[in-house]
Chains A and B, each alone.
Chain A
Amino acid sequence: MYDMSRYARQIVFPEWGAKGQTRLQNSRVLIVGAGGLGSRQAELLARAGLGFMRIADDDNIDLTNIQRQALYNESDAMQNLPKVEQLKIHLGEINHEVAIETARQRVDKFNIHNLAHDVDLIMDGTDNFPSRFLINDYAVKNKKPWIFGGAIGAEGQTAVFRAGGNPCLRCIMDAPSAACGENSCRSAGIFGPVVSAIASLQTMEALKILSGSAPAENYLIKINFWMGGIQRILLTGKVLRPDCPCCMKKEFEYLDD
């Protein structure tokens, strides 16, 4: 039995209401990655009352994760437990009404269809660009919205990629370049508040899309949490690459063999 009263503080918001809550209850989301971004997205979506989430990650919990990754604790790290399974346990304690499915897999071109075919939206909780290019190909091909998030050092960014007059990731980036690898959390560092804030921005966009009340305009937003600067660039309505191999030519090279 789905108890609406526990969501009173968001239902009272006029643009959300019981209608938004009911839509969220009927929504299905794939979270790719259960690290800093993905674990926080999962927590916020569970608290908000999402109907179904599937979380995919093949990693185990390490003590260096606890500094920024939501819900995991010291005991999980000491036992080096699988992220998705511990996340499911902790999420169940927060909101037992959310149906949670876990996949102890790294998302790749062979399993992405199984993981994503029955969801309404894909959350980027990955830490690398090859995975994001794969998500982008799948999402464009299957007309599913996905929400990019990236965080490194004290900087974070997010963007909504969805059909209907919006560019895709490949309009912005040609290929996962070598430089992406250098920008890993291990070498450049990462702060808990940065990943939490980016995951929060991503999750808010997800709530708006799933409730049917997303604004027409999407931005790439970058926040420098050290210097305090915020930048945003409007993406909607811009044809960035008339020759985009993904959204224009429909060549999905990250999905194909």
Chain B
Amino acid sequence: MATITINGERRNWEGEKTLRELIQSLNLKTENLLIEQNFEIVPANQLDERMARAGDVIEIIRIVGGG
């Protein structure tokens, strides 16, 4: 079974999704997210163009306020 690693956690993976679809499938809003795909930062305006694929290592961080 193909896998993808999201925030250090390996998950089963089939086919292709855009990064926006991936984020939505995780039930996350795209607001204030910093996304790294295979150690490259993904510009926020490219979520619909970039594809998540098996074997990818993806880090997703939501920037938070407070203090």
Chain A positions near chain B (C-beta within 8 angstroms) = 33, 35-38, 124-129, 132, 149-152, 155, 157, 167, 172-174, 177, 179-180, 183-185, 188, 190, 195, 198, 220, 222, 229, 231, 233-235, 238, 240-241
Contacts and interface: CB of A to CB of B under 8 A. Distances in A.
Contacts of A125: 67
Contacts of A198: 67
Interface in B13-67: 29, 31-32, 34, 36, 39-41, 43-44, 59, 61, 63-67
B32 A177 contact: yes
Contacts of A38: 67
Given A124-B67, A127-B65, A231-B8, 19 more contacts: A35-B67, A36-B67, A37-B67, A132-B65, A151-B64, A151-B66, A151-B67, A179-B29, A179-B32, A184-B66, A185-B67, A188-B66, A220-B61, A231-B59, A233-B41, A233-B61, A234-B36, A238-B41, A240-B43
Nearest to B41: A238
For the complex of A and B, the 4 pairs showing the least CB-CB separation, nearest first, are A152-B66, A37-B67, A127-B67, A150-B64
A183 B59 contact: no
Contacts of B7: 229, 231
Given A229-B7, A234-B39, A238-B40, A172 B66 contact: no
A177 B59 contact: no
Contacts of B63: 150, 157, 172-173, 220
A174 B64 contact: no
A233 B34 contact: yes
B67 A179 contact: no
A186 to B, nearest CB: 9
B40 to A, nearest CB: 7
Nearest to A35: B67
Given A179-B29, A179-B31, A174 B66 contact: no
Nearest to A132: B65
B60 to A, nearest CB: 8
Nearest to A177: B31
Given A231-B8, A238-B40, A180 B32 contact: yes
25 contacts: A36-B67, A37-B67, A127-B66, A127-B67, A132-B65, A149-B67, A151-B67, A173-B32, A174-B44, A177-B31, A179-B29, A180-B65, A183-B64, A190-B66, A195-B67, A220-B63, A229-B7, A233-B34, A233-B36, A233-B41, A233-B61, A234-B39, A235-B41, A240-B41, A241-B43
A157 B44 contact: no
B64 A126 contact: no
B59 to A, nearest CB: 6
Contact of B61 (A36, A124, A179, A222): A222
A51 B32 CA distance: 36
Contacts of A235: 41
Among A125, A126, A173, A188, the one with the most B-chain Cβ atoms within 10 Å of its Cβ is A173
Contacts of A173: 32, 63
Contact of B67 (A150, A174, A231): A150
